[in-house]
Amino acid sequence: FGQPIADFGVLGIIETYLIGSLLKLSEADERTASVVLATLIYALESGIDAFVLSVLLLFGGVLVMHRKAKIQI
């Protein structure tokens, strides 16, 4: 985490899976998808650090799960 995008080690594979999963979760709502995609574009240059990961988790996972739970009730 926090390394440039060219890091293709084992952590890079895990990071790619995590980012892909969060992007898939965020596609449920256009607003969250645009925030997550913009954050990922920003992160291409600097890598994934704690701030970027927290934004991805907030918009990609937590907010979408909250909306799904609200719809089911």
Q: Are 10 and 52 in contact (CB under 8 A)?
A: no
pLDDT surpassing 70 at residue 53: yes
Kindly report the pTM of this predicted structure.
Answer: 0.48
Using one digit for the tens of pLDDT, what is the confidence trace for 9-31? 677 777 778 777 777 777 777 77
Angle between helices 10-26 and 30-46 (to 10 degrees): 160
Q: What is the pLDDT of residue 18?
A: 76
User: pLDDT tens across 31-51, in order?
Assistant: 777 777 777 777 777 777 777
For residues 64 and 28, the answer to whether their CB atoms sit within 8 Å is: yes
